[in-house]
Amino acid sequence: MNYDKDRQGNNIININSDFVTQAGETAMHHTQEIPQWHLDNLKQQRDASASQKAGDMMKVASIPVAVIEKWMREGFDVMRDKNITAKDIVNKLKNEDLTAFLTTEKSL
C-alpha cells in the first residue's frame, strides 16, 4: 500500500490507476485499498463524536478518492459544486451503504 501526505502531514491512501483494454476499447481502471485499521479508526471517531461538543466546524466523513471520483462521474461533484451541503454528502453515503466512512453520528 502506498501513501502520500496531505498538507498537515497525514497519510493519504493512494489510488491505483491502470489502463484496461477490452474489445478494442481502452479505459482507465481505478482502485483504492481501504485497510481495516482505517475503517476501525473511522468507527472510533464516529463513536466518540456523541460525547464531543460540536463547534462551527465538524468532521462528518472521510471519503476515499475512488468514491469522490465515482460521484464526480455521476455529476455529484463535492469538490466544485458549492450547492452540495454536508447533509447532502452524508445522505449520499447512507443511500449508497457507505456509512463506514462517516465520522459522526450527529444529525446535520
- Is 17 inside any structural domain? no
Of the pLDDT bands very low, low, confident and very high (cuts 50, 70, 90), residue 62 is very high
The C-alpha cell at 77 is: 461533484
Tally Cβ neighbours within 10 Å of residue 93.
18
- pTM across the whole model: 0.72
- Is 14 inside any structural domain? no
- Is 26 inside any structural domain? no
Mean pLDDT of the chain: 84
Range of the domain at 71: 33-101
Quote the CA–CA distance of 34 and 76 in Å, as a whole number.
22
The pLDDT value recorded for residue 88 is 96
How large is the average pLDDT for residues 101-105? 92
Of the pLDDT bands very low, low, confident and very high (cuts 50, 70, 90), residue 8 is low
- Is 71 inside any structural domain? yes
Closest to 46 measured CA to CA, from 93, 95, 11, 5: 93
| Number of domain units in the chain | 1
- Is 6 inside any structural domain? no
